[in-house]
Amino acid sequence: MVQVVNSNSFKGISPKDLMEATYQASGNFQVRAFFEAKEEIIKAGKYSEEKFYEILDAMIDAETERKLVLEKLMVKKPLFLEEIVKEIKDFPAENVIRDVIYLKEQGYIQEHVEIKTKTVVKKIKGEEKEVEVKEYFYRYQLKEIPTEQYFEPVSIVFQAGVCCQCGWCSSVCPVNAVEVTADTLEIDRDICMKCGLCFSVCPRSFSIDQANENIKKLDKSLKWSDKTGAYINAYSASTTKDNIKKVRQDGGIVTSILEYLLDNNLVDAIVAVQHSEELWRPEPVIVENVKDLYKTGGTKYANSPSLTIIDQCKKYEKIAFVGVPCMMKAIEKGSMFPSGLPFFKNIKYKIGLFCMESFPYDRIINLAKEQFDKDINELTKMNIGGGKFIINLKSGEQMDVPLKEVQKYARDNCHFCEDLTSDYADISVGSIGSQDGWSSVITRSKDADKLYNDIVKAGLIESKSLKDVKPGQFLVEKIGGIKRKKCKSINLKENQNGH
Ligand SMILES: Cc1cc2nc3c(=O)[nH]c(=O)nc-3n(C[C@H](O)[C@H](O)[C@H](O)COP(=O)(O)OP(=O)(O)OC[C@H]3O[C@@H](n4cnc5c(N)ncnc54)[C@H](O)[C@@H]3O)c2cc1C
Ligand code: SF4
Ligand code: SF4
Ligand code: SF4
């Protein structure tokens, strides 16, 4: 997880400057909207009075810090984030990076993007060829005339056709004004207090990728890949447990990790996904024991708005969450904005899946019918591998079609997704790169790597380095790069017009 440090004490700032910044911060629209809705928020029951003040306090602190960062950024030329960090030493580097990105969204800072093309030599089908690659450089500068931006409720994200239906906004909204399902998003205008918190935490409202790259690069223990994000190690692994082999999708690594977390009391519960009453329609569930955990094994390719139920996990001190990359990013964003205080501090472990695309449930039914002439209820497994979409049937038969034949069934909003490998997870798991019955695993922090190796030592997982298997890390990087390249860019206003 990106750890954004809260600078509760403003050491080294003069009392006058601090007073002025705090005064300005208290006028911020988001702080005001939240403060003025205190009664409604507490009545809605999502946040207790204590939690309300904790959030408010963190919002005022973060906004005060941003006003001070603005003061110190009175330079006219555009600077890289790392240059700004060197310039402003009063706050932790992570905070300064976070602040600059938020100040840009608030309308005070302008982002300049420079694209340079360079020629590199690549091996394509065994032959060395010169190819042109684009490099992006981001610089930031104070706006000549700042115009404070109010954050709209996330209905604008949905109307723009870019909402990934993760459900995070509905869990975070302090007055329960947002309802998200696998296909819809509705905001109750009579309840919404226009605080913009949902917009601040939404993975599709504005990008945190620049901030993330710069923050992760501060941690010298991490390796960095432009295609698959920050990591400690990459492995290929398979479960040793027969019970898990019966329910797993690939290596059974996700279920093995989760079983270890439950058995060792490292979590009280897990948010995962199982079949609903309708087979292959995914349903997010809260699981407290290993027996129920096994019901969640295997991939359901229809999307599940799993983050909608985080709000129901308040009674647990520590939970693990399993989900696709867009959800990992959503949780991360909620721990960065608006204040660096995570909304749900009990999310201790994020297990992210690789994901090229997901499908609306209705289109999964059509896919089975049109591509295989099968009823969805006849399927026991769906899988993607070796460029094919593969199904297994109750009869024991296996059928496949080229992956390109099924891409038309994918969700349109997945075309705005640049993340294959759950860059924002603690541990990422997927099939690309490993042999059948094995998973590729990426650990993304020292703690996550230690946890993974503890599970290997406990004998639950058999593990090799991803570098030592074929096709291995090379293919993960390659497909990760393709996904980044194909990703459509989000411009809420333009997308909205075209919708
Ligand atoms: C929509 C989707 C698309 C994917 N696309 C790719 C891909 O392109 N390339 C690739 O390498 N891997 C992809 N994966 C990941 C892959 O299918 C396996 O989930 C992964 O390899 C883990 O296998 P495992 O045997 O360790 O998991 P298991 O031990 O079988 O556990 C599977 C876990 O996945 C969770 N899960 C199942 N369906 C969903 C869902 N719809 N949403 C959220 N969580 C779910 C379950 O809760 C369970 O905890 C995708 C997964 C999903 C859900
Ligand atoms: S819907 Fe969004 S803007 Fe409205 S109250 Fe909820 S979080 Fe705030
Ligand atoms: S938080 Fe998730 S569900 Fe809500 S608008 Fe953003 S992408 Fe959609
Ligand atoms: S492709 Fe991206 S947006 Fe679509 S389900 Fe996967 S992670 Fe979410």
3-state secondary structure 194-258: CCCHHHHHCCCCCCCHHHHHHHHHHCCCCEEECCCEEECEEEEEEECCHHHHCCCCCCCHHHHHH
Classify each residue of 245-284 as buried b or exposed e, where b means 16 or more C-beta atoms within 10 Å of its C-beta: eeebbbbbbbbbbbbbbbeeeebbbbbbbbebeeebbbbb
Strands (E), 251-325: 269-275, 282-287, 319-323
472 Ramachandran zone, left/alpha/beta (phi>0; psi -120 to 50): left
For ligand 4, say whether the CB of 360 is within 6 Å of any of its atoms.
Answer: no
Strands (E), 143-187: 178-180, 185-187
Among 26, 101, 67, 50, residue whose Cα is nearest residue 333: 101
Same structural domain for residues 66 and 167? yes
The atom number, within ligand 4, closest to the CA of 358 reads 5
Q: How far is the CA of 146 from the centre of ligand 3 (A)?
A: 28
Classify each residue of 418-434 as buried b or exposed e, where b means 16 or more C-beta atoms within 10 Å of its C-beta: bbbbbbbbbbbbbbbbb
Helix (H) or strand (E) holding 472: helix 472-486
For ligand 4, say whether the CB of 324 is within 6 Å of any of its atoms.
Answer: yes
Instruction: Report which bound ligand comes closest to the CA of 276.
Output: 1
What is the DSSP-derived secondary structure letter of residue 423?
T
The phi and psi torsions of 372 (rounded to 5 degrees) equal -125, -5
Q: How far is the CA of 419 from the centre of ligand 1 (A)?
A: 14
Determine the angle formed by the axes of helices 15-26 and 29-36, rounding to 10 degrees. 60
Can you tell me the distance from the alpha carbon of 444 to that of 229, in angstroms, rounded to the nearest whole number?
9
Can you tell me the distance from the alpha carbon of 442 to that of 463, in angstroms, rounded to the nearest whole number?
12
Among 482, 2, 498, residue whose Cα is nearest residue 230: 2
Note the pLDDT of residue 5.
54
Same structural domain for residues 437 and 327? yes
Same structural domain for residues 233 and 173? no
Instruction: Report which bound ligand comes closest to the CA of 178.
Output: 2
Of 218, 242, 266, the last residue of a domain is: 218
Same structural domain for residues 49 and 28? yes
In a domain, 6, yes or no: no
In a domain, 3, yes or no: no
Mean pLDDT value across the chain: 94
Of 218, 244, 273, the last residue of a domain is: 218
For ligand 4, say whether the CB of 164 is within 6 Å of any of its atoms.
Answer: yes
In a domain, 245, yes or no: yes
The atom number, within ligand 1, closest to the CA of 356 reads 8
In sequence order, the 6+-apart residues with CB closer than 8 A to the CB of 184 are none
Q: How far is the CA of 305 from the centre of ligand 2 (A)?
A: 18
Q: What is the mean pLDDT of each run of 10 residues along the chain (499 residues)?
A: 58 90 94 96 95 96 95 83 93 96 96 91 81 89 90 96 98 98 97 96 96 96 97 98 97 98 98 97 98 98 98 96 98 97 96 97 97 96 92 96 95 97 98 97 98 98 97 95 94 62
In sequence order, the 6+-apart residues with CB closer than 8 A to the CB of 194 are 33, 150, 153
Could you give the C-alpha distances from 321 to 203, 415, 426, in angstroms and in order? 16, 24, 10
Same structural domain for residues 206 and 227? no
Strands (E), 81-212: 109-124, 127-142, 178-180, 185-187
Can you tell me the distance from the alpha carbon of 90 to that of 73, in angstroms, rounded to the nearest whole number?
12
For residue 392, the enclosing domain spans 223-497
Q: Tell me how crowded residue 62 is: count the other CB atoms within 10 A of its CB.
A: 26
Can you tell me the distance from the alpha carbon of 348 to that of 483, in angstroms, rounded to the nearest whole number?
28
Domain count, the chain: 2
Mutate to test the pocket of ligand 3, among 155, 156, 169, 332 (most ligand atoms within 8 A of CB): 169
**Ligand 2 atom 5: the closest Cα is on which residue?**
192
Note the pLDDT of residue 497.
46
Instruction: Report which bound ligand comes closest to the CA of 247.
Output: 1
Matching residue, tokens 């797993």: 248
The atom number, within ligand 4, closest to the CA of 303 reads 5
Note the pLDDT of residue 6.
56
DSSP, collapsed to helix, strand or coil, labels residue 454 as helix
Note the pLDDT of residue 196.
96
Same structural domain for residues 281 and 387? yes
Are residues 427 and 463 in contact, defined by beta-carbon separation less than 8 angstroms? no
Strands (E), 15-108: none
Same structural domain for residues 321 and 466? yes
In a domain, 297, yes or no: yes
In a domain, 262, yes or no: yes
DSSP, collapsed to helix, strand or coil, labels residue 191 as coil
Among 403, 358, 394, residue whose Cα is nearest residue 375: 394
In sequence order, the 6+-apart residues with CB closer than 8 A to the CB of 264 are none
**Ligand 1 atom 44: the closest Cα is on which residue?**
323
Are residues 102 and 337 in contact, defined by beta-carbon separation less than 8 angstroms? yes
For ligand 3, say whether the CB of 153 is within 6 Å of any of its atoms.
Answer: no
Same structural domain for residues 370 and 415? yes
For ligand 2, say whether the CB of 420 is within 6 Å of any of its atoms.
Answer: no
Handedness of CA 276, 280, 281, 284 (dihedral sign): positive
In a domain, 86, yes or no: yes
Among 105, 107, 74, 73, residue whose Cα is nearest residue 91: 73
User: What's the chain's length in residues?
Assistant: 499
Strands (E), 372-484: 379-385, 388-393, 398-402, 427-430, 439-443, 461-465
Q: How far is the CA of 160 from the centre of ligand 3 (A)?
A: 11
Same structural domain for residues 97 and 232? no
Same structural domain for residues 238 and 174? no
Same structural domain for residues 26 and 57? yes
For ligand 3, say whether the CB of 182 is within 6 Å of any of its atoms.
Answer: no
The atom number, within ligand 1, closest to the CA of 250 reads 25
The atom number, within ligand 2, closest to the CA of 199 reads 2
Mutate to test the pocket of ligand 4, among 183, 306, 357, 488 (most ligand atoms within 8 A of CB): 357
For ligand 3, say whether the CB of 177 is within 6 Å of any of its atoms.
Answer: no
In a domain, 1, yes or no: no
For ligand 1, say whether the CB of 306 is within 6 Å of any of its atoms.
Answer: yes
The atom number, within ligand 1, closest to the CA of 293 reads 49
Same structural domain for residues 345 and 232? yes
471 preceded by a cis bond (ω within 30 of 0)? yes
In a domain, 5, yes or no: no
Instruction: Report which bound ligand comes closest to the CA of 150.
Output: 2
Of 176, 194, 218, the last residue of a domain is: 218
Please state the separation of Cα 134 from the chain's center in Å: 25
Mutate to test the pocket of ligand 1, among 261, 296, 353 (most ligand atoms within 8 A of CB): 353
